[in-house]
């Protein structure tokens, strides 16, 4: 089935990085060690029909989000603008609705981040990039600063050729990583600063030491900042990511808020999903002076 009309519709929404993936993804020879924050833990990560019964393919879309760094930022770039989940979902739902209008017998469902699927792998199979040694999906134009979304469909769309490109294997990501996540040659989420800033509860002294190696209080960008594939990437063309930027979070603004006020103020921010207590914990560990009289 000709996929050009779908790609043209995506282009009319300002989405240039669009590809088609098949309904099954190749499974790795060995099951990877999977982070507890991932919804998919086993073979369901590679089977799109488990998410949409009768699924024949997926329209996979990248949402670039790069912006120039700003002085004093303490939030990871991916959570500095309004939460990407609803933004991406709105685009995907528009695409799904358009497909439903044009092929009324078809069914569609949108996924972004929270699905059981291996979304990076989905983007590789749709020809949108390759996975670098830093584990990130790297696109030829936008580097790794892209979110991945997809519309699963029952339409028999012809898959695009997978991207079999490779990163430069320059070793920069392993060198700068505060958690030394790549020391065994394979990424280990347990010491990843991004994971630790999202892990609830009391952290171990060695985990606190990792957090303190760099200044971000939520997420981590070290293995992307250093990557040569990100050296000259364009600023995001997605208008929703260019407004309402908040690059810094302070204990002063968080501390007085009730949980309800916190939800009202930050509910639309990707850094808020683990709650206020966790953010204050991270701020207390990384910027203790700002909390001196408050905790």
Q: Which residues would be at the binding site for ligand SF4 (CB under 6 A)?
A: 132-134, 167-173, 177-179, 181, 192-194, 220, 222-223, 226-229
Please give the backbone phi and psi of residue 138, each rounded to the nearest 5 degrees, phi first.
-115, 120
118 binds, among ligand SF4, ligand B12, none (CB under 5 to 8 A by kind): ligand B12
177 binds, among ligand B12, ligand SF4, none (CB under 5 to 8 A by kind): ligand SF4
**Residue 169 or 212 having the CB closest to ligand SF4:** 169
Q: How far apart are CA 41 and CA 37, in angstroms?
A: 10
Whether residue 113 lies in the annotated active site: yes
Closest contact distance (angstroms) between CB of 155 and ligand B12 is 22
| Count of positions (residues) in the chain | 295
247 binds, among ligand B12, ligand SF4, none (CB under 5 to 8 A by kind): none
Contact 235, 84 (CB under 8 A): no
Structure tokens at 163: 């991207």
Tell me the C-alpha to C-alpha distance, in Å, between residue 11 and each of 16, 122, 292.
Answer: 6, 20, 51
78 binds, among ligand B12, ligand SF4, none (CB under 5 to 8 A by kind): ligand B12
Beta bridge partners of 58: 21, 152
Contact 75, 248 (CB under 8 A): yes
Q: How far apart are CA 113 and CA 39, in angstroms?
A: 9
At 138 the three-state DSSP class reads strand
- Selecting among 33, 47, 83, 113, the annotated active-site residue is 113
| Residue 42 is a binding residue for ligand B12 (CB under 6 A) | no
Residues designated catalytic: 113
The binding site for ligand B12 (CB under 6 A) comprises 26, 28, 32, 34-35, 37-38, 76, 78, 112-113, 115, 117-121, 124, 131, 134-137, 144, 146-148, 187, 189, 192, 194-195, 198, 219-221, 223
């Amino acid at each position: 089935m000709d996929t050009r009309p779908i790609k043209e519709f995506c282009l009319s929404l300002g989405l240039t990085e669009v590809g088609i993936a098949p309904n099954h993804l190749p499974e790795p020879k060995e099951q990877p060690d999977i982070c507890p924050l991932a919804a998919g833990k086993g073979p369901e990560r590679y089977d799109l029909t488990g998410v949409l019964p009768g699924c024949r393919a997926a329209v996979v879309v990248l949402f670039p989000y790069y912006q120039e760094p700003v002085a004093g930022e303490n939030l990871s770039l991916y959570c500095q603008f309004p939460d990407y989940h609803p933004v991406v979902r709105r685009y995907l739902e528009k695409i799904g609705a358009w497909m439903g209008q044009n092929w009324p017998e078809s069914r569609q469902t949108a996924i972004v981040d929270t699905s059981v699927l291996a979304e990076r792998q989905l983007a590789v199979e749709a020809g949108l990039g390759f996975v670098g040694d830093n584990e990130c999906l790297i696109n030829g134009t936008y580097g790794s600063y892209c979110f991945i979304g997809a519309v699963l469909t029952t339409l028999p769309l012809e898959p695009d050729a997978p991207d079999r490109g490779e990163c430069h294997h320059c070793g920069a990501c392993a060198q700068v990583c505060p958690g030394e996540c790549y020391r065994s040659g394979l990424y280990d989420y347990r010491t990843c600063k991004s994971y630790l800033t999202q892990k609830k509860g009391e952290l171990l002294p060695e985990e606190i030491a990792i957090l303190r190696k760099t200044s971000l209080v939520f997420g981590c960008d070290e293995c992307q900042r250093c990557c040569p594939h990100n050296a000259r990437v364009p600023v995001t063309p997605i208008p929703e990511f260019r407004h309402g930027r908040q690059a810094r979070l302070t204990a002063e603004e968080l501390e007085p808020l009730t949980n309800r006020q916190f939800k009202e103020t930050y509910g639309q921010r990707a850094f808020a999903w683990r709650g206020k207590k966790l953010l204050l914990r991270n701020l207390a560990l990384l910027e203790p002076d700002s909390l001196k009289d408050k905790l």
